[in-house]
């Protein structure tokens, strides 16, 4: 496969660290120095579906692909306003698509999984173009009374159109089944037969455990995916990493011993938008013409589960 178009969309409201410091015991200085985040966008009047559709339309326009040329829709999402149907069904109707679709929930690693699924579908089906949309609303999940987690996240959507090609050089996906560091339970509907009590609530996170897992698994994945691609760290032009914490990105950078110029970031503007961080960053790089035909990109992400993944991709429409 190859990526032939990118798109993204953000909520209108920008929430600065100072705005959060008005209702929580925190400060801009603490948040910037520990995370690299200065502001994040949060959904207010718009819906996640609106953002997903806007990102998808931007990607299709960028790819020069029309609605009837999309043969499959893959949506990566953790939560949205519906438990069912899937977000893909909702935005499928808003876009006016006629192809099949489904959601995947691989938390922040969703874009890595979606790329691998798209590659397999392009190999095994008679598909021309697949639309991947990563649309996430962690603002709906986090505990807004817990300063150690709510400051980290933002809402947003990123999308790509992929088509037949030979640009995906290597993939590494893993599931560690470590639920404790990061989880959220949904509220159970009462039934006459269930006597056990199950309580829903906001996200629960052990930041330090997530930090350690993120660094160890990402460096492992990067090592493995580079070997699979038959490449050394020097041969990668850009490391487009999950935007969760600037200190995690910096530790990975030191592991591969590459210059900062190879590590584009936008975490200061958007925080962690879960699986949308990488397609949003790709879209920024694409639209600002920083990516050149033939550039080698290494993407790597981690998230609840614990899921992790890395991909080496050659950039270019040819």
> By C-alpha distance, which of 20, 32, 27 is closest to 265?
32
Residue at shortest CB range from ligand COA: 207
Residue with Cβ nearer ligand COA (24 or 89): 24
> Closest separation between CB of residue 190 and ligand COA, Å?
32
Smallest separation (angstroms) from ligand COA to the CB of 237: 25
The residue among 117 and 267 lying less far from ligand COA, judged by its C-beta, is: 267
Residue 306 near residue 175 (C-beta atoms within 8 A): yes
Residue from 62, 80, 245, 272 carrying the catalytic annotation? 272
Question: CB 17 → ligand COA: shortest distance, Å?
Answer: 9
Please, what is the minimum distance in Å from the beta carbon of residue 176 to ligand COA? Answer: 13
Torsion on CA atoms 131, 280, 250, 224, rounded to nearest 10: 10
| Footprint of ligand COA (CB under 6 A) | 26, 30-31, 34-35, 108, 147-148, 151-152, 205, 207-208, 210-211, 214, 244-245, 272, 303
**How are beta strands 101-104 and 70-76 bridged, if at all?**
parallel
- Of 90 and 108, which CB lies nearer to ligand COA in the complex structure? 108
Q: Which is nearer to ligand COA, 270 or 315 (CB)?
A: 270
Catalytic-labelled residue, pool 106, 108, 134, 150: 108
CA atoms within 13 A on the CB side of 161: 23
- For residue 255, how far is the Cα from the chain centroid? 22
Q: Is 272 a catalytic residue?
A: yes
> What six digits make up the tokens of 224?
């493995």
- Which of the residues are catalytic? 108, 242, 272
């Amino acid at each position: 496969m190859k990526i032939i178009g990118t798109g993204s969309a953000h909520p209108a409201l920008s929430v600065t660290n100072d705005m959060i410091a008005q209702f929580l015991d925190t400060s801009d200085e603490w948040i910037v120095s520990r995370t690299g985040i200065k502001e994040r966008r949060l959904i207010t009047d718009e819906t996640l579906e609106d953002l997903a559709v806007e990102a998808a339309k931007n990607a299709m326009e960028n790819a020069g692909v029309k609605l009837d040329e999309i043969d499959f829709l893959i949506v990566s999402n953790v939560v949205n306003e519906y438990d069912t149907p899937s977000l893909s069904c909702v935005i499928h109707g808003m876009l006016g698509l006629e192809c099949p679709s489904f959601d995947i929930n691989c938390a922040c690693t969703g874009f890595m999984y979606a790329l691998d699924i798209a590659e397999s579908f392009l190999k095994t089906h008679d598909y021309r173009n697949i639309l991947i949309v990563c649309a996430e609303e962690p603002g709906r999940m986090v505990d807004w009374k817990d300063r150690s987690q709510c400051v980290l996240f933002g809402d947003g959507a990123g999308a790509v159109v992929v088509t037949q090609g030979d640009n995906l050089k290597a993939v590494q996906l893993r599931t560690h089944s470590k639920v404790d560091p990061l989880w959220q339970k949904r509220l159970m509907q009462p039934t006459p037969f269930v006597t056990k009590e199950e309580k829903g609530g906001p996200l629960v996170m052990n930041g330090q455990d997530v930090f350690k897992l993120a660094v160890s698994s990402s460096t492992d994945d990067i090592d493995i995916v580079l070997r699979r691609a038959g490449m050394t760290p020097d041969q990668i032009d850009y490391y487009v990493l999950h935007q969760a914490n600037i200190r995690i990105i910096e530790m990975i950078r030191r592991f591969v011993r590459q210059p900062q110029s190879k590590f584009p970031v936008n975490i200061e503007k958007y925080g962690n938008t879960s699986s949308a961080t990488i397609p949003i960053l790709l879209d920024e790089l694409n639209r600002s013409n920083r990516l050149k035909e033939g550039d080698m990109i290494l993407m790597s992400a981690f998230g609840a589960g614990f899921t992790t993944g890395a991909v080496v991709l050659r950039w270019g429409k040819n």
